[in-house]
Chains A and B, each alone.
Chain A
C-alpha cells in the first residue's frame, strides 16, 4: 500500500532513461574480436592460474562448434562476434578490487550518480534502522570495489569478486564453477565460460544467516564492448543469504552484448533469495536503435534436501531479453520460486520465464509472472515445469498474467508442462488483459492525472511480485516501473 503511494509521489520526478550517461575514463581493452588469444589475454590480465585458462580455452573450443539459438520469439540482426571488445577495464586497477581511495574518482562519481553506496560509512549514515547492504561494484569487465568484506568475513561469509575468488579460494571455485550451468549448456553460457570477465562470488558457511543483504551493481560503460559476468553463490547447510543485482548502461546507438551466467548452489536446508532489478539501456524508443542484448543463463541447483531458492526479477531494460532463471529441484522437499515483472515498451523484445525441474520427491515450485507490454514491444513468457519419474508428490503452481497497454504491442505465453509420474500436481493459470479505458477514466474522474492513473493501475497489477523484493529495492523497482511506462498511454 505504502509502496503504491510512493510511486504516485514519485511520478513528478519521472524522466526518460536516466542512467544513460558515459563516464570518461581511461580504459584498457582487449584487442577487438574473439579468438583463443583473446581468451588468453583476458586470463593473463586477471593473473589467473593455468587451470582456469584451460577451462576457458576448452569452453572456447566448444563454443566454436555451437550455433546461436533461434527459438526465442525475438528478432535481431546477426551478431558479428568479431566486432566487439571482450574486455574493458578502467586503467589503473590491474587486478581486482582496491581500497576505495585508489579507485578513479570518476568511477566513484558514477556510482554516486546511480545512487549506489560504495563507502561503508554512507550506508551506515543512512536512515536510522535502515538495513545495511554490502555492494560489489562491477564496472565493465572488472570489480572495482566490494564493501563490508571484513564484517562479513567475521561470520565466515566470503563476498568478493570472481577474479579474487579464483585467486584466493580456488578449491571452492574449481568445485562449483560450471557445476550448475555446464560449460556447453547453451551458446551464450559457453561464450561466457570462455571470456567471462568478473562478477561476484559468495560462500555462506553452514548454519550462518548472512547478516546483511549482498548486492552487485553492474555497469557497462565502454562502447562496443560486451559484459560477460559470472556469478557463483554457494550456500552451505542450513545457511541463508539474500542477494540483489542491479544493472545500467549508457545510451548508445549500437547494440551491446551482455551474456552473463549465474550459478546458485543450495545445500540441505539452505535458503537463497536472488533479486534482480535490470535496467540496461533499452534502445531508442522510436527507432529501436541501440540498447543491450541481454542473453543470460541463470540457474539454481537445489542440491540439498529442503533447500529453497527464490528468484525475483524486475526486468525493465534491454533491447532484447533472453533469460530464464531456473531451479533444479534435486533435494527432497526442495522449493523453487520465480517471481517476475517484465516490462517492455518502445521497440523492446523480451522472451523470459523460468524452468522448474522437479527431480526429487515432494519438491514444490511456484511461478508468478507479470508481463506488461506497451508501445510496439513484444513480451513473451516461456516457462517449463517438469516432473521426473522420482519426483513423486511434486507440486507446481503457475500464474502468468499479461497486461497490454495500447494497441500495437504483443504478449505471448508459452508454457511447457511435462509430468513423467502420476503423482505430480501442476496448476497453471494465465490471463491477458488490456489496461482498461474504463479503469483509467474512473481513476481520472477521482482526480488522478493520466500518467499517475496508469502507474497506480500497473502497480496494482505487479504488486504480488513487488512484495517479494527486499523493502529498500521495492521502492527503487517501483520508480523503474513508472519510468519504463512513461508516455505509454495517450
Chain B
C-alpha cells in the first residue's frame, strides 16, 4: 500500500524530515508516535501535498504509484485522506454541500459517475447516525461554531463519506473527551478492511487503546528511530521519549 523511502523534506528551507523510510501494507494500522517537533504533522502534510512542504529527496508511493508529483486533489482522488489536527472552518458552505462537492470531484477524477442527491443524502443519514451526529448539524456551515470534539467527529464523518483507501489521522484524539473518543474510534475501526491502510499520528498512547495498531513507530528528529508491536506504545507511555533523543 504506502511505501516511503529515504524521504527528506523541508519547511521554509529548514530540514524537518531527514531520511524517513516506512511501509504500511494494505489491511494494517500503523501508529506514528513521537515528541513534539519530531515532524509528525509535517509527514502528514508532505504525504498530502500541502504547499510549502518541500520534498528534497526520497519517494512516496501508493500501490506503486508516485504520490509526490501529484496535486493534493489528485492524491485525494487516489484515496489519500487526512483527518486534520485542526480542521478548518468554511463559512457559508454547509457541510453536506462541501462533502458532496468533494465526493463528486473525486469520482469525476476517477472517471466514475457522480452521486445523485437522493443516494448521497441516504448515505449521509446512515453515516451521521452511526457517528451520533445530528443531521441538522450537516446543514450548517462546515465546522463554523463547532466545538473541538464536533470538528473531529466531522472529520471522521467526511472520511466515512469519501471512503478513502489510505487514511492519515493527525492527533485525532486531541480535544476529545472519553465519550467522543469512543465514538470516533468506533467510526475509524468500522473502516478497517483488508483493502485499506491507516497511519495514526499521536502524541499519547490513549487513542491506541481504542484504535489498536498493528505496528508502532517512533518518529524523532525527522526519522523513524524505533519500530515494534503495540507494546511499544505502552513502553513510551511509561518511559517517555527521552531515550529517543530530543526533537530537532
CA distance A105 to B101 in the complex (A): 41
Verify A447–B73 contact, CB threshold 8 A. Answer: yes
Verify A459–B106 contact, CB threshold 8 A. Answer: no
Task: Say yes or no: A446-B92 contact (C-beta < 8 A), given A1-B97, A5-B101.
Answer: no
CA distance A457 to B89 in the complex (A): 10
Verify A1–B139 contact, CB threshold 8 A. Answer: yes
Type the 1/0 row for B76-99, where 1 means its CB is closer than 8 Å to any CB of A. 110001101001111111101111
* CB neighbors of B among A437-487 (8 A): 437-439, 441-450, 452-453, 456-457, 459-464
Q: How many residues of B contact A (CB 8 A)?
A: 36
Verify B88–A439 contact, CB threshold 8 A. Answer: yes
Cβ contacts under 8 Å, A443 to chain B: 90, 98, 102
Verify B73–A5 contact, CB threshold 8 A. Answer: no
Verify A447–B76 contact, CB threshold 8 A. Answer: yes
CA distance A460 to B89 in the complex (A): 11
- CB < 8 Å neighbour of B90 from A445, A452, A457, A464: A457
Verify B91–A446 contact, CB threshold 8 A. Answer: no
* CB neighbors of A among B63-84 (8 A): 71-73, 75-77, 81-82, 84
Verify B88–A442 contact, CB threshold 8 A. Answer: yes
Verify A456–B93 contact, CB threshold 8 A. Answer: yes
CA distance A447 to B104 in the complex (A): 8
Asked if A204 CB lies within 8 Å of chain B CBs, one says: no
How far does the Cβ of B128 sit from chain A's closest Cβ, in whole Å? 16
Asked if A4 CB lies within 8 Å of chain B CBs, one says: yes
Verify B92–A1 contact, CB threshold 8 A. Answer: no
- CB < 8 Å neighbour of A446 from B50, B94, B102, B141: B102
Verify A447–B92 contact, CB threshold 8 A. Answer: no
Verify B90–A446 contact, CB threshold 8 A. Answer: no
Asked if B105 CB lies within 8 Å of chain A CBs, one says: yes
Asked if A8 CB lies within 8 Å of chain B CBs, one says: yes
Asked if B119 CB lies within 8 Å of chain A CBs, one says: no
Can you name the residue of chain A whose Cβ is closest to the Cβ of B102? A446
CA distance A462 to B93 in the complex (A): 10
How far does the Cβ of A4 sit from chain B's closest Cβ, in whole Å? 5
CA distance A453 to B106 in the complex (A): 13
Verify A444–B100 contact, CB threshold 8 A. Answer: no
Asked if B220 CB lies within 8 Å of chain A CBs, one says: no
How far does the Cβ of B198 sit from chain A's closest Cβ, in whole Å? 16
Task: Say yes or no: A446-B88 contact (C-beta < 8 A), given A441-B51, A457-B93.
Answer: no
Can you name the residue of chain A whose Cβ is closest to the Cβ of B82? A445
* CB neighbors of A among B160-179 (8 A): 162
Verify A444–B97 contact, CB threshold 8 A. Answer: no
Task: Say yes or no: A1-B72 contact (C-beta < 8 A), given A443-B102, A446-B102, A449-B105.
Answer: no
CA distance A449 to B158 in the complex (A): 17
Verify B103–A459 contact, CB threshold 8 A. Answer: no
CA distance A1 to B97 in the complex (A): 6
Which 3 residue pairs of A and B lie closest in terms of their CB atoms, listed nearest first? A460-B92, A446-B102, A447-B106
Give 4 A-B pairs besides A439-B88, A444-B73, A445-B76 with Cβ atoms closer than 8 angstroms: A438-B88, A441-B72, A446-B105, A460-B91
Residues of chain A whose beta carbon lies under 8 Å from any beta carbon of chain B? 1, 4-5, 8, 436-439, 441-450, 452-453, 456-457, 459-464
